[in-house]
Structure formats: C-alpha cells, structure tokens
Amino acid sequence: MGKGYLRLVAYLLAILLSALLFVGCTSDKKENDSEEQVSSENGNNVEQEQASGDSEKSENSEETVEPGWKKDTSPVTFDWYVHFSWYNYNWGETLISKYVQEKTGVSINFIVPAGNENEKLNTMIASNTLPDFVTLGWWEDGVRKMIDGGLVYSLNELADKYDPYFYEVASPQVLKWYEQDDGKTYGYPNFAVAPEDYDKYEKIPSNQTFVVRKDMYEALGKPDMRTPEGFLAALKAAKEKFPEVNGQPLIPIGLHEFTDTGNYSLESYLANFLAIPREKDGKLYDFREDPEYIRWLKTFRKANEMGLLSPDIFIDKRAQMEEKIAQGRYFAMLYQRTDFVAAQQALYERDPNSIYIAVDGPANSNLDPPKLAGPGISGWTLTMITKNCKHPDRAIRFVSYWLSEEGQRDMYLGRQGETWDIIDGKEQYLPEYAEMARNNREQFDKVVGQDPLWMLGNSLIQMRWAPEPGPAVRQLEEWTYGKAVSYAIYDNLIPPSDSEEGIIASRIADLWGQTLPKLLLAKSDEEFDQIYQDFLKKRAEAGYEKLLAWQMQKLEENKKKLGIK
C-alpha cells in the first residue's frame, strides 16, 4: 500500500455524488419513515444519552470483556466509502465476506469514487451525505474537515455507550496517537505499528526496494550498484547488452510516477537508501539539503546525459508501469515491491529467471546500510463512523469485532474447515488455498477475498497466519528484513491545507514538483546547481522557515505522545 507505505500528499479529480449514496446503515432499505426517524434520533443523540446514561454505562461496564457484536447478529447493511478510485471489491462474493456476514449479520456496500477522490469526498462533506463508514488516508484533509464539521462520531463515546469491549481490542497507544485536542479519538487506522514493536518482532518488512531483473543482472556479473560509478556503469552495460526486450527498447531504470509534487523514488526512497537522518542538531533536516542526496541526484542527471533515463519514466502512470514490468522491460527499479506482485508473478510463470530481485542499491559515501521505512503508528488509512449512520451501536461493535484477534482471524483466514484449519499445530490455510495464495494471488483474492479487506487490518496479528511468500516474491520481502525502521514520530507533519503553513507547504511541494524534472534534465552539473539554488531561494521566499517552525512544534507533540525525549 501502499505508507508505505507513502509521501503525504493529496491530488486527485471530481465527481458529484448525486443519488449513488443512501444515508444511513440499514438492515432493510425499505424501512418506513417512522422507523428511520427513531433509529436516526437514537444514533445522533449518543452524546446526550451518554451525559444522562450513567446507570446504563454502569451496566455496560460489567460486560467490558464480552464482545458487543454477539448481542445482535441480525442483518444490517453498512454503506462504506473507500477513498481510492482503484479499489474494487464486492462484499458477499468471496468466502471470507460470506462467512463474516453469516456470523455477524453485517453486509457491506462499498462505495468507490469513479473520478477525483477529493472532490467526491468534499461533495459528500458539503452536502452532509456521507455514508456510514469512511476510509481514507490518515493524512487527507478530509479527516480534519469531518472532525471539525462534527460529521463523525468519536470512537470513545460510541464505545462507552455501546461497546466497552472496544477498549479490550484497540491499542491504547494508537488511540492516544490519534487523540484530538478535545481528548477524543475519531478514527482508527489499519496496519499501525508502534516504534516499540520493532524491538519485539524480527520480521517487520519495508515496501521500499531497489530491484534488478535477475537474468540480466547475473549476465552482467552481478555489478555493485551502491556507488554512483557502479550504478551508471551497470545501467550502461545493461542497455548495451540488452538493447531490446521482445522487440521493445529496454528501460535501464524505472521509478515511481512523477506527480505535481515530485517522485517517491527520488525523494523518501532515495533518502532512506542513503540513510539520511530526519533530524540534525536538534532540528528537522530536509534530505534535499544533504550532500549525499545531491550527489545522487546528480548521478541521475548524469544518467540522463548518457541516455540512460527513458522519456517514458517522466510520463508513465502506474498502469503503464505495471504493463512494462510484466514485460520485463526495466533493468532496474527503485520501487515499491508490493506494487508489482501481479506483474512479478507473470514474469515468474514465463521464466523464473526473468523476475526482479532486490539488491543493494544507492548508498552513501560510507556505504552504510539503508534505513528503509517500515510501517508506522499512523498506519496507512483511517476509518471513521459518520453521524449519518442509523446504527452506530452495530457500527462500533463491528469495528471492535474486526480489531479483535477473532475478527482478524476471520477476515484473514475465513471459516475453519472451509478455507483453513490447524495443520502441524498451526492455524493456516488449507493446502489448496495456501498454494493459490502463493502462486495465483489474483485468483485467491477473487475466491477467498482476504487481501482487499484491509480497512482495519493488523499486520502484527496477521503475520502469524501468513503463508510463506511464493517463490516469485519471497526474496523481495525477505531482503527488507532488518532494514526497516520506524519513522512514526515524523508523521502528521503536514499542516492543514487551508492554514497559512499549509498554503506554504503546498507552494513548496508544487515548486519541488516543477524543479525535480528540471534537475534531472539539466545539461550539466553547473546548470543543475543553478536550478537547485533557485529552488532554495524560492522555497525561502515561500515561507519555509515558518513552515519548519510549525513542523518542529508538531514533532515535539508527536514525541510526547510516544513518550520519546
């Protein structure tokens, strides 16, 4: 996903909601008006009921260990908005969703934007037509807008009123991390990993990899690509030895797509491979100021001068990249490994030696090991329950169920005896499904349906059930073990877009997005230096110091939340 997976920016296109959305979570879409009114009043008056419901709360407190979802498993449907246009999942068509629905009574109608995600969400916010659940990136402006607009419930209040079991399964540290100034928490993330977890688990992976096509790399004698000289020599040798792939020109190096604000591969990915620190002398440190980073950007500029940067990398989007990866047209890539699993599998099925493998990539002058981004406490997405939900009691109970170990098992493995069982003393997929998960992930997701149900996933719990990675992707994941670090304290450093600091941050991000391609296309290092100095000047004029001061204050708050001095 990919936070990781993920530089925190928002930039997408627009669509009106119109009649697609039905307000409220309902067990029967044909409920009469009086039933809807009673249900709606019940949901929207949680705060008033809580203030006057001490006796009920006292009664609930005796049931803190009992999962609340078991009290009512009658049919109920939640409309659930997922803030990603690429998401595609039909609840009720997979073995896992059928089992969960039968067990809990919950059915989900996933709603996905057809065009620009941000405009669709803003339309729903402005018209107060948000569905029952909303899942979006934790960094999105929509999170703040919904909280400030009073459009979402605090999970604390719902849990206190309807399901104290929530506190048994939610991480106190995660709740504290997402706590707002009013002391309440309004959303819960998926795949959140606290900094302390890195000391407890040995196999926490990173998505950030430098990969090469195995057969080509070996044919070139496995060149050392950690230095600028070795990197350029390897790209040049690959282009000379393998000028074409199935009649198409070889692309020596592949990168994430260029956007209005830059390129992941040449920003956080490259900085982490170079082990550039995030702080220096007690202040936040911008990797773009680091000599090692500039050295490597100039290396990429030199690569372009040598004809080693294909024009395709400046214009291709993810869909075009996946197609070219499946064709094996890249020699090397600084790329997120989970973004090309299907393409990697296609290569493996044609020729196991043509797959991509992770190797040591760009490094700093000391050849220090990379410090790649692992999962953070912010997770990837944030899920919120809106005040349009007519059954907030069932909603918070379903959240608690999903967060529990039982729910994680159900959402990951499915029904015991159908998709999994205890084999050799371990809870794991039945052999036919384990093999499908390893070798045909697309079919596995279509039949079993585990991977798309990530909204409240917990990777630390799920790793105990994960099948061994298939031969096509195993090496990519295992290479990252021991190289992942937590950058959790540097999350939440993007100011609200409509604040003064947010406007500054947006201007600087756009400025960098315009500058980065120019740096790579510069005809000389001298021209590179002029472009770079111009960027620094304009960044300062845009108010960089004011933004930095805001970020430093936010960083101190982050450290306090995590107990880091």
Distance CA 230, CA 171 (A): 46
Q: Percent of the chain scored above 90 by pLDDT?
A: 78
At 428, give phi and psi (nearest 5°). Answer: -160, 165
pLDDT digits (tens, 9 = 90+) for 431-450: 999 999 888 888 999 999 99
In this structure, what token pair is assigned to residue 395? Answer: 């909603």
Q: Is the pLDDT of residue 103 over 50?
A: yes
Q: Which residues contact 232 (CB under 8 A, 6 or more apart)?
A: 299, 302, 303, 306, 308
pLDDT band for 133, please (50, 70, 90 cuts).
very high
Q: Is the pLDDT of residue 31 over 70?
A: no
pLDDT band for 520, please (50, 70, 90 cuts).
very high
CATH T-level fold of 18-195+380-412: D-Maltodextrin-Binding Protein; domain 2 (3.40.190)
DSSP 8-state code for residue 257:
P
CA-to-CA separations, 393 to 64, 333, 494, in angstroms, rounded? 15, 48, 33
pLDDT digits (tens, 9 = 90+) for 205-241: 999 999 999 999 999 999 999 999 999 999 999 999 9
Task: Please report, for the chain, the start and end positions of each structural domain, with discontinuous segments joined by +.
Answer: 18-195+380-412, 208-373, 417-475, 493-562
Residue that wins the pLDDT comparison between 47 and 504: 504
Q: Which residues contact 556 (CB under 8 A, 6 or more apart)?
A: none
pLDDT digits (tens, 9 = 90+) for 484-494: 999 999 988 98
* 359 closest CA partner among 201, 268, 478, 219: 478
Could you tell me the pTM of the whole model? Answer: 0.77
Q: Is the pLDDT of residue 48 over 90?
A: no
Q: Is the pLDDT of residue 22 over 60?
A: no
The domain 208-373 is placed in CATH, from the list 3.30.1340.10, 3.40.50.300, 3.40.190.10, 3.40.50.620, at 3.40.190.10
What pLDDT shows up at residue 61?
Answer: 42
pLDDT band for 2, please (50, 70, 90 cuts).
very low
* 284 closest CA partner among 556, 4, 565: 556
What pLDDT shows up at residue 104?
Answer: 98
pLDDT digits (tens, 9 = 90+) for 156-184: 999 999 999 999 999 998 999 999 999 99
Q: Please give the mean pLDDT across all residues of the chain.
A: 88
- The radius of gyration of the chain's CA atoms, rounded to the nearest angstrom, is 25
What pLDDT shows up at residue 279?
Answer: 96
Count of Cβ atoms closer than 10 Å to residue 248 Cβ: 11
What pLDDT shows up at residue 300?
Answer: 98
* 256 closest CA partner among 310, 202, 318: 318
pLDDT digits (tens, 9 = 90+) for 525-561: 999 999 999 999 999 999 999 999 999 999 999 998 8
Q: What is the mean pLDDT of residues 247-270?
A: 96
Count of Cβ atoms closer than 10 Å to residue 461 Cβ: 15
Residue that wins the pLDDT comparison between 257 and 439: 257
Q: Do 18-195+380-412 and 208-373 have matching folds?
A: yes
Provide DSSP, 450-484. -TT--TT--HHHHTTTPPPPPTTTHHHHHHHTTTE
What pLDDT shows up at residue 26?
Answer: 35
Distance CA 366, CA 223 (A): 18
pLDDT band for 28, please (50, 70, 90 cuts).
very low
Distance of CA 467 to the CA centre of its chain: 21
What pLDDT shows up at residue 203?
Answer: 86
Say which range, 58-72, 384-398, 527-541, has the weakest mean pLDDT.
58-72
- Exposure string (b/e) for 363-372, b if CB count within 10 Å is 16 or more? bbeeeeebbb
Distance CA 98, CA 450 (A): 12
Q: What is the mean pLDDT of residues 324-329?
A: 96
Q: Is the pLDDT of residue 4 over 70?
A: no
